[in-house]
Amino acid sequence: MGALQILGFVGPSVNWWALLPQIILLGAALLILLASALAPQRTSTAFTTITTLCSAITSSIVAIGLWNDVKTGGPSSSIASAFGIDGFSIFFTLLILIGLAATALLSHGYLDREGIDPPEFHALLLCSAAGAIVMASANDLIVMFLGLEALSIGIYVMIAMHHRRSEARESAIKYFVLGAFSSAFLLYGIALTYGATGSTNLVHIRNYLDAVVFRDQHLLMAAMALLLVGLSFKVAAAPFHFWAPDVYQGAPSPVTGWMASIAKAAGFAALLRIFFAAFASHDVDWAPIVGVLALITLVVGAVMAILQTDVKRMLAFSSVSHAGYVLVAVHAASAEGTSAALFYLFTYTLMVLGTFAVVGAMGTDDEHPLSRYAGLGHSRPILAIGFTVLLLAQAGIPTTSGFIAKFQVIAAAVNNESYFVAGVAMVTAVIGAFMYLRIVMAMYVTDEEKERTSPTWHWTTSVVVIAAVSFTILIGVVPQLLIEFAEDAVPILIRG
């Protein structure tokens, strides 16, 4: 430090308080690794789960404190305006921490059952969550890229940690190759944005685009296209979704839940921050492309889901079609559309975590044919009711949060006069509902009594399912609680 001061180097000021949520998570990851290395016997799953949960809770308390700071003092940025602290970043921080707590609880039973070492899994999960938070808070494209990589690299290893199942390894290598491929696209997009605007900082990019009229904007258009392709891979939007069914099917169910919920939410956070906030002045260029992506994604997700026989693959395509609805909201390129997207992501995350909690408990050998769910309504009525609520919420049935979410998205599209997109979204909602109803029907309407596999149920799984179901119904009945939160969280860019 002394030598640097002599050289005249002054580092940017760092607001450590604002970085505390990630620091707590990384500290917990180090603590778990250290404890497992020093402890004489095998680290218990209970210790790692409790550490992860405690860090998630402490982190969320800090995040709520930051939310109040933002409410009173306005948004701020840290580390030379590379890291933003606004409603948007804290909204996603809280969402990611909820996902982290739920995944830690779901993995608790799973790791014990499958004999996977808990410390490594939880350390990777915590690092992955910290990466997701960095990605959602980044005010600079390179910081966003680093967050994305921290998020993804953790997931690659978490998928492959089940060392006895070749499907898990295959799923991990598929996700790895396509993840690296899409990262390269995203990075090339960042390079071209840097070339076109002279900076990777989102505030600088927005100010430059506001001030300058391009004589030819091929470079900028190519940059936007590459960024969109890279992020579409991450959020599994068609036609860049083909990895999703294989990877979701092969991955351990708690990791599938994490990928389907948080990896997707962080991807959309980056998408919204880049396109809605930084490229706002060029929305006539990108909004139509996003609209086309949304249309393809909606149709592919809804139609392909019907053709599947494996429940995990069905849910993979359902997550593709959910990405389509969020893209419809992004396509609107308005504050209303963005808050609809945030509302959708929040409710979707809880629904999908609850759904994969049930799926994880149902498939002890990680096979998920639809026939396994036959007769669940009779053998495990309460579980079946919870699963039904979550599936119907994903289909968008009124009195569930899924309905409000879809309604807001379509309303944003209509107010933006994108009637065609809104119409297709409504039609595909009906087509998609067929797939969810097929699972529900399999649970209740069956006449075969033979070989019912009873799910291996751990009480931590019940906690997640009960929390997800009650949240889904609560927001379905009183949506105002979350709508205001989402409206306060529309992204803004802050100069440091």
**Which residues of this protein are in contact with another protein, per CB under 8 A?**
142, 145-146, 149, 153, 156-157, 160, 163, 166-167, 169-174, 176-177, 180-181, 183-184, 187-188, 190-192, 194-195, 198-200, 245-246, 249-250, 308-310, 313
Residue whose C-alpha is closest to residue 323's, from 431, 239, 434: 239
Of the two residues 435 and 490, which places its CB atom closer to another protein in the complex?
435
Residue whose C-alpha is closest to residue 355's, from 431, 260, 453: 260
CB of 216 to another protein, least distance (A): 14
Strands 76-78 and 83-85: what pairing?
A: antiparallel
CB of 156 to another protein, least distance (A): 5
CB of 383 closer than 8 Å to CB of 373: no
309: exposed, middle or buried (C-beta count within 10 Å: 0-12, 13-18, 19+)?
A: exposed
SS3 429: helix
Distance CA 196, CA 258 (A): 35
Of the two residues 160 and 422, which places its CB atom closer to another protein in the complex?
160
Helix residue spans in 166-217 (DSSP H)? 166-197, 202-211
Of the two residues 250 and 354, which places its CB atom closer to another protein in the complex?
250
DSSP labels, 22-60 = HHHHHHHHHHHHHHHHH-SSPPPHHHHHHHHHHHHHHHH
CB of 38 to another protein, least distance (A): 24
CB of 19 to another protein, least distance (A): 18
Distance CA 393, CA 183 (A): 32
End-to-end CA distance of the chain: 23
Of the two residues 86 and 366, which places its CB atom closer to another protein in the complex?
366
Of the two residues 30 and 50, which places its CB atom closer to another protein in the complex?
30
Distance CA 181, CA 445 (A): 44
Of the two residues 228 and 405, which places its CB atom closer to another protein in the complex?
228
CB of 112 to another protein, least distance (A): 22
Of the two residues 21 and 154, which places its CB atom closer to another protein in the complex?
154
CB of 310 to another protein, least distance (A): 6
Six-digit token string for 69: 């700071």
Six-digit token string for 451: 């070989």
CB of 350 to another protein, least distance (A): 27
Of the two residues 113 and 163, which places its CB atom closer to another protein in the complex?
163
CB of 309 to another protein, least distance (A): 7
Distance CA 368, CA 428 (A): 25
